[in-house]
Amino acid sequence: MPITQLNIRAVRNLSELSLSPSPGINIIHGPNGSGKSSVLEAIHMLGLCRSFRTNKLNHLIQTGASQCTVFAQVDAMGTGASQPLGVERNLESDCRIRYAGNNIDITTLAELLPVQVINAETFMILEGSPAVRRQFLDWGSFHSNPEFIRLWRGFRRVLKQRNSLLKYGKIEQRIRAVWDQEFISYAEQLNTLRELYIEALKPEFDVILADLLEGVSIDLSFSPGWDKKRGLDQVLNDNFERDLRQGYTSAGPQRADLRLKVDGHTAAERLSRGQKKIVVSSLKLAQGVLFYKLNSRACIYLIDDLPSELDQQHSRLFCHYLEKTASQCFITSVDKEALTGYWSDQAELRFFNIQEGAFSTQ
């Protein structure tokens, strides 16, 4: 169980809040504006040192406060031994992270407390830009291979340098060859890890989708961001004059995409709004199942207002699969009864009623 005790201070309307969550399903219910989503936001900050709702710290930090803090006791490795974890953000954007008495960086934090968010914006995986799908893809790649973050950072550094040279407008052939070679090396390694992740994710996704959305088959595939038939070296050479005019690199992993198709058409075009939500929910559940298989521990799910996102039948099926992932889940709902009957008798279920930023356990 990742979080055994949670303390939140000065996050939006949550002045001082503490709870002892269940290792399984935690349902946070209360009226709109009571602070339900702020609890999820605080847990997300605990795992990634940032909000999933805003980039503006003055919105996250309570009015009149100079900083916000989230502290928890976490059993990050699933050994049964909890350690203290604390994250503090101030208005100057400083982030201080302490785990087991030591300062740690954001990468280590993300490894310790893997967090999955499902909310209204999550469904942009289908309808949004490729950047949204790359973020989904890279979450999984990061948690499935320890080499991923090194390669990703190396590639971003080389891409930034290559784009700077293109913007400058004149590049000596010798210098261009050096940077292209390094670009290709990082790109191909990064691409391999992404491909391996999608290959592992696809069967998990297919099984879950078959139960949640009968009669609809989704073809899930990966586009690397360049024409692999020609090879990246040839693509970079062919695109060079255009890239020079535009001032940026037009092919490579920074253009990768995850493609979902139904009968040869994009899922975003062919599916109804409700079907899209089920497909994206299936993707997120598949990530949790695969994470558990690869790491022998579960991630944490933060699910904002589930009843408004899925109908009753699909909410029930979704909750069934969510319970099977053995994940610790925090789910918000305006109505307590909307989610009461969706769990097995074995589910470790706990309800928290929130009113104006304060909890009562039920």
Query: Mind spelling out the 3-state secondary structure of the chain?
Result: CCEEEEEEEEECCEEEEEECCCCCEEEEECCCCCCHHHHHHHHHHHHHCCCCCCCCHHHHECCCCCEEEEEEEECCCCCCCCEEEEEEEECCCCEEEEECCEECCHHHHHHHCCEEEECHHHHHHHHCCHHHHHHHHHHHHHHHCCCHHHHHHHHHHHHHHHHHHHHHCCCCHHHHHHHHHHHHHHHHHHHHHHHHHHHHHHHHHHHHHHHHCCCCCCEEEEECCCCCCCCHHHHHHHHHHHHHHHCCCCCCHHHCEEEEEECCEEHHHHCCHHHHHHHHHHHHHHHHHHHHHHHCCCCEEEECCHHHHCCHHHHHHHHHHHHHCCCEEEEEECCHHHHHHHCCCCCCEEEEEEECCEEEEC
Q: What residues form the annotated binding site?
A: 30-37
Give the annotated binding-site residues for ATP.
Answer: 30-37
Count CB-CB contacts under 10 A for residue 125: 21
